[in-house]
Chains A and B, each alone.
Chain A
Amino acid sequence: MVALAGALAAGPGLLRRNLASLRLALPVALVASTCSIGGAMLGLYLSSLDPDIVQVCLGATIVGIAALLTFSKNSELPVVDKQDAIGLALGMRGAFKDQSSGNIVEWKTHRTLMGLIMFIFIGVLAGMFGLGAGWANVPVLNLVMGAPLKISVATSKFLLSITDTSAAWIYLNKGCVIPLMAIPSIIGLMLGSLVGVKLLAKTKPKVIRIIVILVLLFAGLKAMDKGLGIGLLG
Chain B
Amino acid sequence: MTAQNEKDITAPRKEQITYANVLSIGAWAGIAIMTLTYILYVTGIIPPHVDVNLIVDNWDKGVSQYRHITGSPQGWNWVLLLGKGDFLNFVGMVLLALMTILCYLIILKGYLVRKNFTYAIICILEVTVLALAASGIFGSGGH
Q: In whole angstroms, how far apart are the Cα atoms of A179 and B133 in the complex?
A: 20
* B94 contact set on A, CB distance < 8 A: 172
A73 at the interface (CB under 8 A from B): no
A77 at the interface (CB under 8 A from B): no
Shortest CB-to-CB span from A157 to chain B, Å, is: 12
Interface of B is mostly: helix
Interface residue total, chain B, C-beta cutoff 8 A: 68
Q: In whole angstroms, how far apart are the Cα atoms of A65 and B46 in the complex?
A: 45
A183 at the interface (CB under 8 A from B): yes
A153 at the interface (CB under 8 A from B): no
Among the 9-residue stretches A3-11, A136-144, A204-212, A216-224, the one with 4 or more Cβ atoms under 8 Å from chain B is: A3-11
**Does the CB pair A165–B101 fall under 8 Å?**
yes
Interface string of B68-100 (1 = CB under 8 A from A): 000011111010000000110110111011011
Q: In whole angstroms, how far apart are the Cα atoms of A184 and B99 in the complex?
A: 20
Q: Determine the residue in chain B with the shortest Cβ distance to A26.
A: B122
Interface residues of A in 160-196 (CB under 8 A from B): 161-162, 165-184, 186-187, 190-191
Q: In whole angstroms, how far apart are the Cα atoms of A51 and B62 in the complex?
A: 8
Interface residues on A, range: 35 or more
**Does the CB pair A191–B31 fall under 8 Å?**
yes
A12 at the interface (CB under 8 A from B): yes
B45 at the interface (CB under 8 A from A): no
* A21 contact set on B, CB distance < 8 A: 16
Q: Determine the residue in chain B with the shortest Cβ distance to A50.
A: B62
Can you list the 8 inter-chain pairs with the closest CB atoms, starting with the nearest?
A173-B139, A179-B89, A12-B24, A15-B20, A170-B139, A166-B133, A169-B133, A12-B20
